[in-house]
Chain A
Amino acid sequence: MTREKISVALVDDDPAVRQRFKASIEKHPDLFWLGEAGCVRSGKALALSSSPRVLLVDLGLPDGSGMEIIKEVNQKQPTTEIMVVSMFGDEGHVVQAIEAGASGYILKDTDDLSLAEHIIQLCDGGSPMSPMIARHLLKRMQATEAYSKKNLGNNLDDSSEAASLTRREMQLLKLLARGYTYREVAEDLNVSSHTVNSHIKNLYRKLSVKTKNEAVFAATRQGLLDMRALD
């Protein structure tokens, strides 16, 4: 079974990290090293000119935040999957990045083999999601759903339906939040682990769709956008 190599680019200001990631990605037969950058400006240029399949972004960069890159690349180049490189994988940083359009995160100390696995997993389906993050997303989705129901009535049924959670996805997020692994979730819900992965991918996507909808709602309320012009 042959498949196209996954092209990977990295934006991180630490040369040692760049070197390590480069070495481990070049070692893997399914991955392909596209390039690296050390700041926001060159990172954006790299991502937009070479359009990698996977872009790894560190948040703390010398000339700004990696969030800027995530937002811009997510908007202009939806085919690129973005992953945050994080030291702690803490809720604060990761959730923000996911809402900006990242579809997963990777810890800085991840060993070579797991690094490659994570990247491939990201392209196949969902990137791993920690219980804290699952819980956060669950709460957030419920809050926005309640908000849409209350404030928008039937006006936006189509788009809000597209972005709301199915019962299955809700179950899945709840199980993940309680610490169950993907394999256990798959057994519990009686589905294949592949199905779980694709659910996860959908969840990430819905979250960023949700965020976009919210921006639209906010803009409409402020009179910046005419809803009819969006059709």
Chain B
Amino acid sequence: MPSLTFVMPHWLYWSTLGLFPLVATWLVYREQERRDFGRPNLFLAYLFLLTAGFLGMHRFYLKSAWGMIFIPFFLAVLWTSADIRIARENLSLSRSEAEHAERLLTRAQSDLAAGKTGAAQRLAKAEADAAPARDHFAASTDGLRRANGYARVAGILLGLLLLGDAFLLPRLVRRRRQRETTPTPPLVHPLDTGVPASAVKPPLPFFRPVDWLVRVTGELVAYWAVLAVFAYYYEVVARYIFNSPTNWVHESMFLMFGMQYMLAGAYAYRDETHVRVDIVYSHLSVRGRAVCDIITSFFFFLFAGALLVTGWRFASDAISIGERSFTEWGIQYWPVKLTMPIGAALLILQGLSRLVRDIAIVAGKVE
């Protein structure tokens, strides 16, 4: 199996984070226009061929049992790449062993030339030691070559199968679609894991832009989770099938999630998913709740404000030195830190929108 040496370039990382949510939003929109779901489609079939075709997943997606054929080949590839890993370790061990023996040998030879006592015996011993070490090294080289050879055969066979299916796929999808004429209706599921408490309060007209900003930010960063799925999947496949672990997947993903937590705070506040203790609060009237919210808003703004000010100081320090991480990948750190004041600012805006609305409720201007 060839090695994967791809390292995510920084510009690609940041632009993917920026562009993927926009593309996904567009795809959601386009899908609603076309209304063709509940049946197999070519895009997903090729996606699964590309990402999990070595397990026959594209075939299973099309309900074709022929996908089973891929599994023995996949196991063979997995087996051989484990072999390669062992062979590589053996090789490096025997190489250092052989090198050590050679060093002793040359030293003994030069000792003999200098006419030191006992050099002859040492030379004989070193020669005796070097021979098995050389054999060992040769055997390990051979072992690695053999393992690589098997891996190549298994890999090529698997590749040919995949290539064949890449050509067959459009026809397979078409045939499957003819058999599944009635699309499966989408399931309606309540996915709300938050507290089933009071409904979301609609904003006052003046604060609609704020509401829009908070909602759109949240919806866009929500799509990042999809990126993580593919990134971790890539990492594991690269490690076990191609024997090449990456140095960027883990770091890029936890930083991405870190930014997501920060930016999502305001969105969750808007949708009332931050847990509260509902013993008294939920039994109050709408006005009573508004009064409580006005009282506690002092504390809310204290926290959000402190986060904004200190977070900005924290981020601007990082920006001024163009901070990067100390890892091999060396990604820019300052945009991650910058999400802290941005998240706090969104939170404050959302809090203001609520506060004004609560005051309007208490004043009797709004229901």
Partners in one complex: no
Listed in ascending order, the chain A residues whose CB lies under 8 Å from chain B are none
